[in-house]
Structure 1
Amino acid sequence: MSFWFYFLTQSTLIAYALVGGVFLAFSDFIMRSLKQISGRGGVEAMQVINREVFRWIFMTLFLGLAPVSVALILYSYVSLSGPSALLIAASGAVYLLGCFGVTIVRNVPMNEALARLETGGSEAAEYWTSIYLPRWTFWNSVRTLACTISAALLLSGVLWLNSNPVT
C-alpha cells in the first residue's frame, strides 16, 4: 500500500469517527436536553447551534469527507480488487448516502424550516415538538450509524489489504 493511500485511509477513518461522534452526541443526549428546555428555549438553542455548525472544523470534516469518499470508491475500483476493494468502496458509499445524503435531504431542510420560525410563537413550539425533535433525531441517528459503519468498513478494508497485500 502506498504511503499516500495509507495516510488517506487512516485520516478518513479518524474523520468518519469524529463526525459520527458529533452526531452521536446529538442523538444520545443533546436533543433530549434541548427537549427538556421549556418552550422556546430549545428552539432558540437549536437555531444557534445550526448557525454555529458552519464553523470551519466540523464543516471541513463533514464536507471534506464527501470528495474523499468518492476518491476511496474510485481508487478501490481502479487500483484494488477482492474484499479490500469492496470494503473500502462500501465505506465511501455508506458515508455519501447515509451521512452526507441524509443530511442534505432530511436534516438540512428541517434546520432551514426551524430557522424561519419565531422562537416565541406557537407555530415554532408545535413544529419543534411534533416534527423537528422526533424526525431530526431519527435522521441524525441514521447519520451516526452511517459514520460508524463507514469507519468499520474502512478499517476492515485496510486490515484486509494489509493482511493480503496481493490484491
Structure 2
Amino acid sequence: MSPLVFYLAHFVVLAYAMVGGVFLAFSDFIMRALSVTSGHGGVETMQTINREVFRWVFMMLFLGLAPASLLIAAYGAIVVEHGSGLLMMLAGLAYFSGCFGVTVFFNVPMNETLAEMETYADVTRDYWTRTYLPRWSFWNTVRTVACGLSAALLLISLTWAAQSQAQTI
C-alpha cells in the first residue's frame, strides 16, 4: 500500500468516526430532547440546525468523505490484496451508501419538507410528530451505524494490510 493512501485512509477512519459521532448525538439524545418540546420548539430548532449545518466543518467532512470513500473502495478492490482489500472496499461502500446515500435520499428530503413548513402551524406539528421524528431518527441511526461500520472495517483493513506487509519482509 502506498504511504499516501495509507495516511489518507487513517484520516478517513478518523473522519468516519467524527461524522458518525455527530449522527450518534442526534440518535442518542438530540432528537429525543427535541421530541419532548411543545412540538413548535423542536421544529424551530431543527429548522435552524438544518440551515446552520451547511456552514461548518461537518459539511466539508461529510461531503468530502463521499469521493474519498469511492476511492478507498476502488483502491481496496483493485490494489490491496487478500481480505484486507475486501474490507477496505466494504468500508468505502458502507459510508457511500449507508451514510451519504441515506442522507441524500431520505434525510435531506425530509429536511427540505420541514424547512418549507410554517413553524407554528398545526400541520407542521403533525408532520413533526407523526412523520419527521420517527422516520428521520430511523434513517439517522442507519447513518450512525454505517459510519461506525465504515470506520471499524477500514481500521481492521489497515491493521491487516500492515501485518501482512510486515510478514512478507
Give, in whole Å, the separation in 2 of the partners of 1:86 and 1:77.
Answer: 6
Give, in whole Å, the separation in 2 of the partners of 1:22 and 1:132.
Answer: 19
Structure 1 vs Structure 2 CA RMSD: 0.9
Residue 6 of structure 1 deviates from its aligned partner by 1.5
Match of 2:32 in 1: 32
Give, in whole Å, the separation in 2 of the partners of 1:79 and 1:135.
Answer: 39
Give, in whole Å, the separation in 2 of the partners of 1:73 and 1:148.
Answer: 16
Residue 39 of structure 1 deviates from its aligned partner by 2.6
What stretches of structure 2 of length at least 5 have no aligned partner? none
Residue 11 of structure 1 deviates from its aligned partner by 0.2
Q: What are the within-5 Å matches in structure 2 for residues 7-18 of structure 1?
A: 7-18=7-18
Give, in whole Å, the separation in 1 of the partners of 2:112 and 2:44.
Answer: 13
Q: Which segment is superposed worse, 1-10 or 20-29?
A: 1-10
1:104-145 Cα distance to aligned partner (Å, 9 max, x none)? 010000000000100110010000000000000000000000
Match of 1:113 in 2: 113
Match of 2:122 in 1: 122
Match of 1:149 in 2: 149
Q: Which amino acid aligns with 1:151?
A: A
Q: Which amino acid aligns with 1:21?
A: G
Give, in whole Å, the separation in 2 of the partners of 1:108 and 1:120.
Answer: 21
Residue-pair matches, total: 166
Q: What are the within-5 Å matches in structure 2 for residues 36-47 of structure 1?
A: 36-47=36-47
1:26-78 Cα distance to aligned partner (Å, 9 max, x none)? 00000011111113111000000000010130000000000000111111122
Q: Which amino acid aligns with 1:63?
A: L
Q: Which amino acid aligns with 1:66?
A: A
Q: Which segment is superposed worse, 32-41 or 129-138?
A: 32-41
Q: Which amino acid aligns with 1:10?
A: H
Q: Does the residue aligned with 1:43 lie in a helix, a strand or coil?
A: helix
Give, in whole Å, the separation in 2 of the partners of 1:124 and 1:109.
Answer: 15
Runs (4+) off by over 2 Å: none
Match of 2:100 in 1: 100
Give, in whole Å, the separation in 2 of the partners of 1:73 and 1:132.
Answer: 32
Give, in whole Å, the separation in 2 of the partners of 1:94 and 1:81.
Answer: 19
**Percent identical residues:** 55
2:49 maps to 1:57:
no
Q: Which amino acid aligns with 2:15?
A: A
Q: Does the residue aligned with 1:38 lie in a helix, a strand or coil?
A: coil
2:87 maps to 1:87:
yes
